[in-house]
Amino acid sequence: MTLPHRYISLAIGITGAVLGASAVALESVWLGAAAGLAALVLGILAVIRPPVAPTTSPSPPVADDASDLGLGAVVAIPVDLDPAHRRITDLEAEVTALSDAATLPNPRDDRTAPTLTDGPSGLFTETYFHVALESRLAAARRHLRPVAVTLMRSVEGPPGDTVVAPPPNRLAEAIRETIREADIACRLDDGTFAVVLEDTPENGAVWTTERIRRNLVSRHGTHTLWAGIACYPAHAFASDDLYRQATQALTAAQDWRQDRIEVALSD
């Protein structure tokens, strides 16, 4: 077994000290020379002694940039994007359903295309009515809200053998003054007035129609008004079926020789 360097130096130093003491006590030249030789060897060993490597503790692993910045924690956090994706999908569907109706101009704007508005009344046309009705029904299905359709016709004075059709703008003005901004008023190709009432059940549609009749009479004197009402989802689910139900209700109302509001029968 090899002795460590420091133990060899210690042994030589002790030997030299013993020889030196013996040389003094015995007055021996040879012992003094041996002690001097031991001192020389000890000095040489001290000169050629290998440097001692400093003791160092293992350095901790250096964290990468991602760890320093805390990005590892960010990556490890599970992100649930499903609700956001569902919300985006729902909004895209709503925008698609309402795009046609939302991009159509205001009927009161003089620059409105003639194909979208009825000239005599200033209301929207039948083409717009069917597009808007389909759009409102699509939104109503998503949000579980009712939609009502009211079809109206009127004559000036009491109904009799001679029926006088009033100017279209009279009933149009009464409708505009009564309905909300979210509602849609149209005049169909056959002269029938149609109103789409958003978020309105059957009783609300009846009351709105009665207010239109009163507004018409208060502005322009005696008029007779007939109306047919159909509601989603009480009477129909599809736009064509809802329009058909409202038309049948209007036909039933016109059988009366007085003001009459008829509500469609539930299937």
Condensed to tens digits (0 to 9), the pLDDT of residues 56-91 reads: 545 545 444 444 444 444 344 444 556 656 556 655
Helix H segments across the chain? 5-26, 29-47, 65-68, 71-76, 82-103, 126-143, 168-178, 202-220, 239-253
Instruction: Please state the domain extents for the chain.
Output: 5-47, 97-263
CB neighbours of residue 50 within 10 Å = 6
> Taking 80 as the threshold, does the pLDDT of residue 26 lie above it?
no
pLDDT at 165: 87
Mean pLDDT over residues 27-33, rounded? 59
Q: For residue 35, name the pLDDT band (cuts at 50, 70, 90).
A: low
Instruction: Decide: 148 and 200 in contact? Cβ < 8 Å.
Output: yes
Task: Identify the architecture of domain 97-263 in CATH.
Answer: 2-Layer Sandwich (3.30)
Write the pLDDT tens digit of every residue in 135-151. Answer: 999 999 999 999 999 99
pLDDT at residue 146 in the model: 97
Q: In 10 A of CB 60, how many CB atoms?
A: 6
Strand 184-187 and strand 223-232: pairing?
unpaired
What pLDDT, in 10s, does the model give residues 165-224? 899 999 999 999 999 999 999 999 999 999 999 999 999 999 999 999 999 999 999 999
